[in-house]
Structure 1
Amino acid sequence: MKRLCLAAMLAASMAFGAMAAPPDYDERPAKVEPYREGWNYDRRLVDITMRDGVKLHTVFLVPKGARNAPILLTRTPYDAEKLTSNVHSGNLIAALDGYDNAADIIVAGGYIRVIQDVRGKYKSGGGYVMNRPLVGSGLNPTQVDDATDTWDTIDWLVKNLPESNGRVGTLGISYDGYEPLVALVNPHPALKVSVPMNPMVDGWRGDDWFHNGAFRQMNADYIWEQVATTDNSDPFWWNSRDIYDAFMRAGSAGAFGRIHGLDQIGFWRKLTEHPAYDTFWQAQAMDKILAAQPLKVPVMLVHSLWDQEDIYGAPAVYAALKPKDTAGDMVFLTLGPWHHGQEIDDGTHSGNISWDQDAAKWWRWHVLAPFLAHYLKDEPMDVAPVTAFQSGVNEWRRLNAWPERPAAARLYLKPGMSLGFSPAEGAAETADYVSDPAHPVTFVPRPVRPTGYDDDHWTDWLTTDQRNAAARPDVLTFTSEVLTAPVTIAGQPVVHLSASTSGTDSDWVVKLIDVYPDETPVRRDMGGYQFAVGMDIFRGRYRQSLSDPKPITPNAPLAYSFALPPANHVFLPGHRIMVQVQSSWFPLYDRNPQTFTPNIFFAKPQDYVKATQKVVIAGPSESYIELPLVN
């Protein structure tokens, strides 16, 4: 009986297979025709052909009814379609709710918005190279770069967008801010204005990859995700919730890279092969490149005073370009109270620090909007050459230049862990501490999470309370008396540190801090807050030459000099000034083993040793901070 049933089932199956195939069981249309009724813009996708035949994927958002409209171009490695794909609303301002979009002023200005994937990313063709060096730099074997791609793109735009007036402006933040800089190299005649915001300029001196030779190892996950795949689809994996532990277990930054497969990434290998400021870095530093170029396009450089990613670049380019601006109408600068990219977001506060206003919205409407409209639509403009926010009093200032000839004043590190504007009396004296690589000073309290924009942990860490560091025995803390009059600085404080180490290499971290009164009104939680006005790191092996590292002579007081980021700040009466000195800033920066090795990326476990650090605080070589004081 069972055999009979099986035979019947087999026959039925064969008969069913012999029948005609059923129609597709699929509810999707063969081609979707999106609903666009009531939309106030047209969205177009075009692959623009470059001079070498590579096609770059480009998104166009054209306001309905646009005529004689200027074009605002952003080139990005962060997915042009995603940055313009809020299709849940037919309103252009909603579609622009993405990175790099100052949507409010772009929509109000009636601009045609164009966003393009750079070569090798997302839907653009070609190979990808991080901040592709320029043709002729000696670092690019091809005949194309971001400058030529920008030229070719603009040429296509002005010939193929009948709604435009033939004028193009370019703007962007961070990597996208690097793109408006390279657009200035042999610029297309239709490029009428460039707005680099928080641009990547010099990856060794003080932007994303190093600060004065100290490696910013927390960017490892960005490097992996950005380079490993065209569409950032392979996420970096962390093996610890507290990444302090992940880096400590690995040892050196190079060992960490090997564990996580980063040695497969071409850019990572370049980093590890060029730890010093050699021609690899110098040949692609955009401030140096633009200093050698004629100035043909008006530029507004936008700098965030508490930029946790690219705090070096914009002021450096300003210093390179401003001497070329003989008529005073080509080079503009903004210094705002923001973290990286905050100028297009809410600007009421940075972490715990309130600015008593939305400083980002004010800037967009009173500076960025009229600046763009002037050069792209011939509208009148009343924008100062320099627009600088002055923290402490929390007010915008209109300046003719940056800085406006401040007077240098020495703020001395003195015995008794004090600070003062007069040198200490008496014989030479030092303040000492032991730096132990096994217990590095963290840049934020633990647990340390990966970089991200979900909260203030990464975005606003430069404004976080420094009392956590001040409580450590391996951090020297010097504090002034309570101020009875305001102290105003505008410019770059310069560290002049005289110090010795028992090791043969050392890092030096110096912080300039505004200490709030012990009791504060309204915001009582801010009582005693230690607000960093400026801080940075210097790797001691580069004391004599940034390109040629040398061992440090043990136990010999030596001079170290380096600039802190620009500041425009008023230390108010009732506050105190503080300076902190330490020798690690982990895990943001890799640990200095404190033993000289040819390449710290590949330091061995036995290279990491304790060192006794001695900072000179009295005598002929007393340490001090040179403050740019203004009246």
Structure 2
Amino acid sequence: MKKLLVISLLFIGALVFAQDNKVNFVAENYTKKEVHIKMRDGVELFTAIYSPKDVSKKYPIIMQRTPYNCAPYGESEFKKSISPSETMMKEGYIVVYQDVRGRFMSDGLYDNMRAYIPNKKSKKDTDEASDTYDTIDWLVKNIANNNGNVGTWGISYPGFYATYSLLSNHPALKAVSPQACISDFFFDDFHHNGAYLLSYWKATPLFGPQKSKRTTEAWYKFPDLGTKDDYQFFLDAGSLSNLDKYYGKEDEFWQQLKEHVNYDDFWKKRGILQHLKTIKPAVMIVGGWFDAEDLYGPLNTYSTIEKSSKNYNTIVMGPWSHGDWARNSAEQVIGNIKFGDSISGFFQKNIEANFFRHFLKNNGKGENKLPEAYVFDTGNKEWKTYETWPPKNTEKQDFFLQENKLRKMGAKNISFQEFISDPKKPVPSFEDINQKGITPRKYMTDDQRFASRRPDVVVFETEILNDNTTLAGDILAKLQVSTSGTDADWIVKVIDVFPKDEPETKEIAPYLKMSNYHMMVRSEVMRGRFRNSFSIPEPFVANEKTAVNIKLQDVFHTFKKGHKIQIQIQSTWFPLIDLNPQTFVNNIFYAKPEDFQKQTHRVYNDSEIEFTVLK
């Protein structure tokens, strides 16, 4: 069971700091208290409280609410590290961890992405906002030496609960940092634009079965596939319904995934973005440009708050995978690409600690040295600051997909490039056979040459660039396509093609070369049936030219002089996403073997890619 907990922590990007094994700083400098705080409806939530031993002054409270456990349990058992960072741990905060309702040592039933109740009419109307309010209220009234200011933070799912805390409206809540925050499970983690992320299937038990009692151990199990070759495993499995033998009906989340394949009320009411209005606490959104799990959440949480509130709202986006900023890695490497040294340490000391110190210790008084946007250029490999995100000095530029070229001028005559998409031989999403952890990550910067050389991937690229070109903002693929079938997925990848004389690096995999490296900068999928509505799917008319728009999340990347910008378009991306049968069925989870058909797809030359370009 302990191994399962370790895997769970890997999934959420748990905080890991280098510590001297002989000395536990936390045990030497903090006292620990464990309590069950009663919520308004009588349900009790387990809460671990770490307070500085130095009681000569008052401290702010910093809290994380989590579905992943508050281990180690027991007042004599201490975490090796507490607080968002080692810097803040040594500065001194009252640090609080809480198991959310229905998880581990807390009571009640767990509800995955529990829906917010805007107009509560009785004590029975509880949600994560009311639980947060009740917890904060208890803490400021009962914990000695607190200064009355509370902050929340969290990464991944705990990031969702940090966002949720904004809806609590407790007057003591002054600073909130949602990091890699989930915002909507139809667009984060398990789905992208309606396509089911099959690569997350193994993580399903984390959110599935209910526990029967208070527990410090995992009550869920991850499947034993008997192989490390995910591509072959899922290909052999065939229809998704054949995976039922691994998850029974007690796994509520698996049943929900199968039953709610469209963006229906089940998903809509669990989204949190629509409720982020008139926010008062200071907010610092943190995310990674190469976060394979939660990129949609941070960018859209920031932009939503920016449009609907007048509070202090800032965003930090670094060259990170999921949760990398909370680690103390000397070198920041994603896959084969190194982005620099001590990048996470810089963030922890100079950005994160400053944010919480300013609003929780200094009451928001004095000079705030943080900009609106602290963003890392992943091409030039350097930090930049801006007054807005995207920066004001950008413009939209359209590039046309024509005869394998990416051109600013469109041709008058309509032509197309076609390819055969075969669900029985799908395009791999990465070259690796065995991914680390239960979800893939490094593919976000992987070399894409293996895909560009396949006949079922069409490639368009610019000439060698004469000047640097910096993309700073979102990307919109405005495709004109057709299929001989009645359904299809459309995948768009934006790639930085390095020059042939690119120097080798020690980070490059032994089977690769940096010469002509095809670094993926951004990618996205659109399940074609949702091209007009995520709620009401509709088939394609066979062989009829059809518009499919795909929004790719923001980038901040400089394509250097001597490089090329490349676009790859394909219709399978396996096993990252599940297989589209390419014949329209009501529910792909229950598609039959005969539904999976080879089809001919066309990409027409009036298709465009709209970039946000820094002037």
| TM-score normalised by structure 2 residue count | 0.89
The answer as to 2:606 corresponding to 1:625 is: no
Residues 387 and 248 (structure 1), Cα distance of their counterparts in 2 relative to 1, 3 Å cut: same
Q: CA deviation at 1:84?
A: 9.9
Who is 1:367 aligned against? 351
CA distance in 1, matches of 2:182, 2:132: 17
Who is 1:547 aligned against? 535
CA distance in 1, matches of 2:382, 2:326: 19
* Matched AA of 1:69: Y
Ranges in structure 2 where 5+ consecutive residues have no aligned partner: 1-23, 212-216, 507-512
Q: Deviations over 1:456-510 (max 9, x none)?
A: xx23221111111112111111121111101111000100111110010000000
Q: Deviations over 1:526-572 (max 9, x none)?
A: 22111111100000011122210011001111111121111011100
* Matched AA of 1:213: G
Between structure 1 and structure 2, the one with the greater Rg is 1
Who is 1:348 aligned against? 332
Does the residue aligned with 1:412 lie in a helix, a strand or coil? strand
The answer as to 2:514 corresponding to 1:526 is: yes
Contact 1:218-1:451 within 8 A present in 2 as well = no
* Matched AA of 2:209: A
* Matched AA of 1:484: N
The 5 Å alignment of 1:324-339 reads 324-326=308-310, 330-339=312-321
Who is 1:267 aligned against? 253
Contact 1:137-1:284 within 8 A present in 2 as well = no
Who is 2:3 aligned against? none
The 5 Å alignment of 1:27-66 reads 39-66=28-55
Q: CA deviation at 1:448?
A: 4.3
Residues 462 and 280 (structure 1), Cα distance of their counterparts in 2 relative to 1, 3 Å cut: same
Root-mean-square deviation over aligned CA pairs: 2.3
* Matched AA of 1:322: E
Does the residue aligned with 1:477 lie in a helix, a strand or coil? strand
Who is 1:397 aligned against? 384
Who is 1:315 aligned against? 299
Q: CA deviation at 1:238?
A: 2.9
Larger displacement relative to structure 2 (427-436 or 503-512):
427-436
CA distance in 2, matches of 1:335, 1:237: 34
Who is 1:81 aligned against? 71
State the identity as a percent. Answer: 35
Who is 2:603 aligned against? 615
CA distance in 1, matches of 2:474, 2:173: 32
The 5 Å alignment of 1:36-435 reads 39-66=28-55, 67-82=57-72, 94-96=80-82, 101-135=83-117, 143-204=125-186, 206-228=187-209, 230=211, 231-239=217-225, 240-256=227-243, 258-290=244-276, 293-326=277-310, 330-345=312-327, 346=329, 348-378=332-362, 380-405=367-392, 406-415=394-403, 417-424=404-411, 426-435=412-421
The answer as to 2:433 corresponding to 1:447 is: yes
Contact 1:243-1:450 within 8 A present in 2 as well = no
CA distance in 2, matches of 1:36, 1:478: 54
The 5 Å alignment of 1:571-586 reads 571-586=559-574
Ranges in structure 1 where 5+ consecutive residues have no aligned partner: 1-34
Contact 2:284-2:315 within 8 A present in 1 as well = yes
Residues 308 and 83 (structure 1), Cα distance of their counterparts in 2 relative to 1, 3 Å cut: farther
Contact 2:26-2:81 within 8 A present in 1 as well = no
Bigger RCO (CA 8 Å, 6+ sep):
2
Q: CA deviation at 1:323?
A: 2.5
CA distance in 1, matches of 2:63, 2:485: 51
Does the residue aligned with 1:343 lie in a helix, a strand or coil? helix
Residues 459 and 41 (structure 1), Cα distance of their counterparts in 2 relative to 1, 3 Å cut: same
Does the residue aligned with 2:60 lie in a helix, a strand or coil? strand
Does the residue aligned with 1:564 lie in a helix, a strand or coil? strand
Contact 1:135-1:141 within 8 A present in 2 as well = no
* Matched AA of 2:207: Q
CA distance in 2, matches of 1:36, 1:612: 62
Matching residue within 466, 484, 490 for 1:502: 484
Contact 2:40-2:123 within 8 A present in 1 as well = no
CA distance in 2, matches of 1:352, 1:534: 16
CA distance in 1, matches of 2:529, 2:37: 47
Q: CA deviation at 1:402?
A: 0.9
Contact 2:176-2:284 within 8 A present in 1 as well = yes
CA distance in 1, matches of 2:101, 2:541: 47
Residues 141 and 462 (structure 1), Cα distance of their counterparts in 2 relative to 1, 3 Å cut: farther
Q: CA deviation at 1:136?
A: 5.2
Contact 1:282-1:288 within 8 A present in 2 as well = no
